[in-house]
Structure 1
Amino acid sequence: MRAQRDFYEFTDVFEQIFLAAPWPMLMLGEDGAVLGASDEFGPGAEGTARGDSRGDAPLRSRAAHYVAALRGRVPWLTPQEADSVRTLPSGALVYERLHVRRTPWGASLVVVDQTDLRQLQTSDIQTARLAALGFMVAGVCHEVTNPLTSLHSIVQILRAEKQPSRELLDKGFDNIAVNVKRILDISRRLVKFSRVGDEPRFRFAVDEAIEEALYVLRQDDLLCHVELQYRPDATMTVFGNTGQIREIFLNLFVNAAQAMSGRGTLSIQTRSADRMVEVLISDTGPGVPTEAVGRIFEPFFTTKSRTHGTGLGLAISTEIAHEHGGSIELRHTDSRGASFCVALPKERA
């Protein structure tokens, strides 16, 4: 009844606001009920209230989705900004920024479509990454040539033997398997580096990505003899793709475990640093060699043996962090270990 009284009391006000507003807008009552939607007012409102030319649903029917993207004890009455990602019936993604402000009748919720802006940003990122990929071509040729040369040699040896011994066959097949795996690793990581996915982004606690990465390491037995010192902070949230952020932590954790040869202490701390969420990752390995400090984020540069690394893990992680408006840096290194800091923007309130 209250919502109905508000509707009749403010109908004229709503219409004036809707006609003047440049963006779609919902008016919400104190109980969260939809009092009015901008696509229900003005010329042609009867048609637009049933949807638009993209096949999108009318504003009123989208209200529940928008409210679910908000936060606060009473989300629809909490002044804030939030992000929304929706999927149209066609399968296309719609990226929107939501603005909630209090009003005498409850709140107004303005919906700003940022899909075109997102596509431009994605295009710019894609261009930059493809340019970076161009500089990597020479490195790719070198990296792939080594295992291919080894493969060619072992095949020639096996073909030269009319009746190769079992020992020679086993050695040859092991050599082939190792080198094929290396080529596949390089190929897969290059695809990750060059592709800008249109994966939807959401608000999530950064510790969720950390815990998922730790779970993968436990499944691979990389933490069996490693002491884990983990200090999470559930209040630290970011906006992004969980899988991509998990890739950052997975690469750093694997590097730390391998640097310690599977034995030592891995320390992880999530903390607030002004407008950023910082994750400090430290190990008790031998540290990064002095001559490698300036190159560890370069594609194909690695301090590991050729059978344990492609030199793309940190390069890919750095690109992912940059895509999310963050960074990765080496904070400290000496003979007692290395410390990295992953910084990501806090999710805006």
Structure 2
Amino acid sequence: MRDRAALFEQIYAASPWPMLMLGPEGELLGASDDRSDAEPAAGDDMPLRDRARHYLGLLRGAVPWLTPQAVDSVRTLASGALVHERLHLRRTEWGACLAVIDRSEMQTPPPADAQTARLAALGFMVAGVCHEVTNPLTSLHSIVQILRAERQPSQELLDKGLNNIAVNVKRILDISRRLVTFSRVGDEPRARFAVDEAVEEALYVVRHEGLMQHVELQRQADAAAVVFGSIGQVREIFLNLLVNALQAMDGRGVLQVATRRNGTGVEVTVADSGPGVPEALRSRIFEPFFTTKLDARGTGLGLAISNEIALEHGGCIELRESGRGAVFCVVLPRAPA
């Protein structure tokens, strides 16, 4: 409990917005203005903790307090003034984080709004960043101490030490690059496009990298499945899902990619013939830095970032039940005619 309180303090200190911490049953674990040195929100007349019930009542989903989402809130102060807020909820290892962004005086165009959403998402990753960067740094420190203790280290020890240093430095750089790239909303304009264009571009990349030499691809396209958004960002979603699927199958098996229209939405499913996701881990797969891979092939950020991009486009990513393998479904709203 003490470790969790310290972790919450780190997140509160790093976040520019008020934050609520929720447990797996929707219970309130903490609020950023619980701290004695916390400054009250400008013009507000109610502590953040006392506003939790109002915010929780606005959330949606089968288990609202555990469903990643962004929703709007309007509150009336005792003075009669209206407070317009945007709520961003994301899953964590203890339950969920809920960031509250005051938009009462914001008159920002969509690009700035998207940048705010990206920064909010990064706020949820702070705790994971501290943990993931500390581990390789600790390993690096130990290796350096061992090498320094040896006046004339053997070539074998030197080679092993340098290799370990290279691996840990690469991991830190991978994490840093992914977070920096994600934090920037590019200048790429949003437009209508057939979602299969993004799928085919992602398939081209994995083919070019030789990841599908021993994989049978079963493809079902729908040229009329048109969405609105950034084709480059949507392509990143499919690229992450394809790489995960191919790694799960160790490069051998059957990969099914199907596109279809469903009412007002578009669905693209990516199904593999790998071992699937264990039931006990299904609720955590979209957490930043969480991974089921036992090796160092990824940063654990792919699904988390992909889900953030889908949410920005008004959609989501779902892990669906399957008799075998894993089935991920990207759901996006159809573009208006």
TM (norm. structure 2) is 0.65
Question: What does residue 325 of structure 1 align with?
Answer: 314
What letter is aligned with 1:323?
E
Deviation (angstroms), 1:198: 3.0
8 Å contact kept, 2:234–2:310: yes
Question: What does residue 282 of structure 1 align with?
Answer: 271
- Report SS of the residue matched to 1:307: coil
Q: Deviations over 1:144-186 (max 9, x none)?
A: 0111111111122222222222222221121111111111111
Which of 201-210 and 311-320 deviates more? 201-210
| Counterparts of 1:200 and 1:184, CA distance in 2 | 29
8 Å contact kept, 2:121–2:308: no
State the structure with more CA Rg: 1
In structure 2, relative to structure 1, the CA distance for the partners of 1:194 and 1:220 (3 Å cut) is same
Unaligned runs of at least 5 residues, structure 1: 1-116
8 Å contact kept, 1:332–1:340: no
For 2:281, which of 288, 292, 310 is the aligned residue? 292
For 1:161, which of 132, 145, 150 is the aligned residue? 150
Question: What does residue 343 of structure 1 align with?
Answer: 331
Which of 165-174 and 319-328 deviates more? 165-174
Deviation (angstroms), 1:242: 1.6
How many residue pairs get aligned? The number is 232
In structure 2, relative to structure 1, the CA distance for the partners of 1:271 and 1:184 (3 Å cut) is same
Which of 155-164 and 286-295 deviates more? 155-164
Deviation (angstroms), 1:269: 0.6
| Counterparts of 2:224 and 2:163, CA distance in 1 | 49
| Counterparts of 1:265 and 1:157, CA distance in 2 | 46
Work out whether 1:197 is the aligned partner of 2:174: no
- Report SS of the residue matched to 2:255: strand
Deviation (angstroms), 1:128: 3.3
Deviation (angstroms), 1:199: 1.7
For 1:130, which of 119, 124, 133 is the aligned residue? 119
Question: What does residue 149 of structure 1 align with?
Answer: 138
8 Å contact kept, 1:328–1:343: yes
8 Å contact kept, 2:260–2:266: yes
Deviation (angstroms), 1:234: 2.0
Which of 120-129 and 281-290 deviates more? 120-129
| Counterparts of 2:271 and 2:107, CA distance in 1 | 35
What letter is aligned with 2:170?
K
Work out whether 1:264 is the aligned partner of 2:274: no
- Report SS of the residue matched to 1:221: coil
Work out whether 1:223 is the aligned partner of 2:212: yes
What letter is aligned with 2:315?
G
- Report SS of the residue matched to 2:310: helix
For 2:174, which of 185, 188, 203 is the aligned residue? 185
Deviation (angstroms), 1:322: 1.3
Unaligned runs of at least 5 residues, structure 2: 1-105
8 Å contact kept, 2:310–2:316: yes
Work out whether 1:252 is the aligned partner of 2:241: yes
| Counterparts of 1:118 and 1:304, CA distance in 2 | 43
| Counterparts of 2:207 and 2:136, CA distance in 1 | 30
8 Å contact kept, 1:326–1:344: yes
Question: What does residue 90 of structure 2 align with?
Answer: none
What letter is aligned with 2:158?
L
- Give the fraction of aligned pairs with identical amino acids, expressed as a percent: 72
Q: Deviations over 1:43-93 (max 9, x none)?
A: xxxxxxxxxxxxxxxxxxxxxxxxxxxxxxxxxxxxxxxxxxxxxxxxxxx
Q: Deviations over 1:98-148 (max 9, x none)?
A: xxxxxxxxxxxxxxxxxxx99533333333332332232121111001111
- Report SS of the residue matched to 1:279: strand
Q: Deviations over 1:264-320 (max 9, x none)?
A: 111001111111111111111111111111111111111112512211111110111
Work out whether 1:171 is the aligned partner of 2:184: no
Deviation (angstroms), 1:212: 1.2
In structure 2, relative to structure 1, the CA distance for the partners of 1:152 and 1:306 (3 Å cut) is farther
> Alpha carbon RMSD of aligned pairs, Å?
1.9
8 Å contact kept, 1:237–1:347: yes
In structure 2, relative to structure 1, the CA distance for the partners of 1:155 and 1:149 (3 Å cut) is same
What letter is aligned with 1:145?
T
| Counterparts of 2:285 and 2:200, CA distance in 1 | 25
Question: What does residue 14 of structure 1 align with?
Answer: none
In structure 2, relative to structure 1, the CA distance for the partners of 1:314 and 1:341 (3 Å cut) is same
| Counterparts of 2:162 and 2:205, CA distance in 1 | 29
Deviation (angstroms), 1:258: 0.9
8 Å contact kept, 1:288–1:333: no
| Counterparts of 1:132 and 1:237, CA distance in 2 | 27
In structure 2, relative to structure 1, the CA distance for the partners of 1:166 and 1:172 (3 Å cut) is same
| Counterparts of 1:202 and 1:306, CA distance in 2 | 38
For 1:243, which of 222, 227, 232 is the aligned residue? 232
